Structure 1
């Protein structure tokens, strides 16, 4: 409908957007989200079995896209974001992050070194952002009064309601976090966390939105000192994250040790990384941004999982071959099968 009416609505919409940008205000009617719960499992019994899908007004996203263009231009020009932040930035992707991490690990192994990778996980990171801290950060990096007021108006006085089976709940206020399903929210998050990595002294790091990876390479005789340094960086990361209102979920964090097999086997007992008093599990493989890493970097488990998914999807397509035309078969095959293989194929292929 919006596309059909666009010739008549383009001018007034443009006027509204220009007014919002110049006056630093965001329309209240565009700040109401409708949440639709979708089941993660076949028979959901608890809230954790549901995934909330947030639907925002269409015009809200038009204004947000305009804001994103201007904010992104500013933070890129002022070099605000860390170079190793690959999330929600032009020219960066999961591939960028994974290529950097795997290249660093392979380089360390080529030099007969070991490498420890710590994969961290934040609990509901986008939903726990402190509005006051965010606004203070924006002022710190040079946002003017109108720009700061616009963001303040955007994140404050927001409401959300739940829609389920044509029933709509009462709208309740949202006092923390950035809007789910928004265009601007992810960019605000990476600005919000841009200085968190300043606490890291010994490890190299790579970020993809709320995914933070710490990587430390060392010679075998330096293991004890390396473990101490990694633990110090992890603890500092936890503390500065908590000051930002973000919590690292130790139950979903993992440690991996890379190196030549013989040396690695000897060093494994010494690798003890903790978050506060919780020891992090040392694993042989872990999913990292959709790619299953293994300690020998042969990606056998990743390829096996791809083949399993491809088989199931191809079997489904084959069973429905008589009701699908050729073009639809090709489209489904490309989206359900080939896309899985092409994701980061330059790394594991």
Structure 2
């Protein structure tokens, strides 16, 4: 607990370190197509981006039968556990804790709107949220999103070199936060997340994981042991989430039925449009991936991949949010170093 708690010195250190870190994304000024044509017109950019992301978010081709979806069902002792209902006080606490940003969702609403909602409205929304938990449903319009694009590097780039950010329905985000706390309780009780996973979960800070990573390397080097490290960055990790496989795997991990129904309904039948320079594209369906702007997507992602450590018995693994670092010492570490040197030559 002490390792993962914030101290005044650590807060000062990391706040200063952030100032030296450059932003990974930049504003988007135009698209360069495959034939070298550059377009900067808003409607045409929306059209090109829509064509790219409609194909990108199309359903993945999965070889069947697959163990996540076609294996015999396992029924755990908590399979019929209900999702705890929420209270008006809990909802209002979540609303008050959210930053009142003016960025709008697909229907023109923002968190700033919450400042003008009468208290009686939240009592009605509490009933909707509780109905969502008990029946595993939610309004279809809540699953509409407004998608913004950031350039990963150059401000004029191919649509495939952009980063999509989904601005979700403001009421769905409150519903997600309520569900996230309940899902995290299930995950913690079942001990699904390994201690080596930092980020996207409370009391497991990324800063501590970085320090432990260097400490493991230093201890191996102090014993004159060859050390090899492998860094894995999962490409478009959140955007590749397979809906059916995710539900099937969570079921085998012991997630209760009502939670599975809610997650499946949250994932399915989503749609979005892309907004660029005040223009917008047509609606298109999203058939894979978790929304990048969601508070629940990161937790779902690390739970879905929580068994990755089981395949890395030969090394010390460290999970940084959605990325992986593996440390290998001794003979295996030496083989990795020799292979890396031969590749470099």
With the shorter chain as reference, the TM-score category is 0.5 to 0.7
Provide the rounded CA distance (Å) in 2 between the counterparts of 1:142 and 1:40: 38
Deviations 1:161-191 (A, max 9, x none): 1112332211111111111211110111001
Determine the structure 1 residue equivalent to 2:198. Answer: 86
**Given the alignment of the two structures, is residue 200 of structure 1 paired with residue 318 of structure 2, yes or no?**
no
Assess, with a 3 A threshold, how the Cα gap between structure 1 residues 85 and 16 changes in structure 2: closer, same or farther. Answer: same
Q: In the alignment, which residue of structure 1 is the partner of 2:163?
A: 51
Q: Deviations over 1:253-287 (max 9, x none)?
A: xxxxxxxxxxxxxxx5x2449xxxxx8769xxxxx
Instruction: Find the aligned partners of 1:8 and 1:94 in 2 and give their Cα distance.
Output: 40
Work out whether residues 227 and 272 of structure 1, in 8 Å CA contact, stay in contact via their aligned partners in 2.
Answer: no
Does the CA contact (< 8 Å) of 1:32 and 1:158 recur in 2? Answer: yes
CA contact (8 A) 2:226 2:333 kept: no
Q: Given that residues 146 and 274 in structure 2 are in contact (C-alpha distance below 8 angstroms), is that contact kept between their aligned partners in structure 1?
A: yes
- The alpha-carbon deviation at position 83 of structure 1 amounts to 1.1
CA–CA distance in 2 between the matches of 1:50 and 1:81? 31
TM-superposed CA distance for 1:42, in Å, is 5.9
Q: Which residue of 2 aligns with 1:170?
A: 282
**C-alpha distance 122-173 of structure 1, shift in aligned 2 (>3 A):** same
Q: Which residue of 2 aligns with 1:259?
A: none
Task: Name whichever structure is richer in helix by fraction.
Answer: 1
Q: Is the contact between residue 228 and residue 333 of structure 2 (CA under 8 Å) also seen in structure 1? A: no
The whole-number CA distance in structure 2 between the counterparts of 1:281 and 1:117 is 15
TM-score (ref. length: structure 1) = 0.63
Q: What is the match of residue 265 of structure 2?
A: 153
- Cα pair distance change 1:87/1:280, threshold 3 Å: farther
Deviation at 1:49, TM superposition (A): 4.5
Displacement of 1:200 in angstroms is: 1.2
1:239-318 superposed matches below 5 A: 270-272=338-340
RMSD, matched Cα: 2.1
Once residues 75 and 198 of structure 1 are traced to their aligned partners in structure 2, the CA distance between those partners, rounded to angstroms, is 17
CA drift of 1:87 comes to: 2.0
Higher mean displacement: 109-118 or 124-133: 109-118
Out of 41-50 and 169-178, give the one that drifted further. Answer: 41-50
Deviation per CA, 1:70-129, whole angstroms, max 9, x where unpaired? Answer: 011111111001110102010112212201101101111222223211111111011111
Gaps of 5+ in 1: 231-267, 274-278, 283-349
Evaluate the alpha carbon distance shift between residue 103 and residue 42 of structure 1 in structure 2; reply closer, same or farther with a 3 A threshold: closer
Q: Say which SS state the counterpart of residue 38 (structure 1) adopts.
A: strand
Q: Following TM superposition, by how much is the alpha carbon of 1:38 offset from its aligned partner in structure 2, in angstroms?
A: 3.1
Aligned to 2:172: 60
- Provide the residue aligned with 1:238 in structure 2: none
Aligned structure 1 segments of 4 or more residues deviating by more than 6 angstroms: none
Per the alignment, residue 121 of structure 2 pairs with 9
Contact 1:126 1:177 in 2 (8 A): yes
Q: Is contact 2:213–2:318 with CA below 8 Å preserved after alignment? A: yes
TM-score, reference length from structure 2: 0.63
- Contact 1:189/1:209 (<8 A) preserved: no
Question: What secondary structure does 1:119 align onto?
Answer: strand
Partner of 1:186: 298
* 1:181-226 Cα deviation digits (max 9, x unpaired): 11110111001101122111211101022201110122xxx3xx54
- Aligned to 1:69, which of 159, 175, 181? 181
* Aligned positions, number: 233
State how far apart, in whole Å, the 2-side matches of 1:281 and 1:87 are.
32
Q: Which residue of 2 aligns with 1:104?
A: 216
Alpha-carbon distance in 2 for matches of 1:49, 1:78: 39
In 2, Cα distance between equivalents of 1:190 and 1:208: 10
Q: Tell which has more relative contact order, 1 or 2 (C-alpha 8 A, sep 6+).
A: 2
Q: SS of the residue aligned with 1:120?
A: strand
1:209 matched residue in structure 2: 321
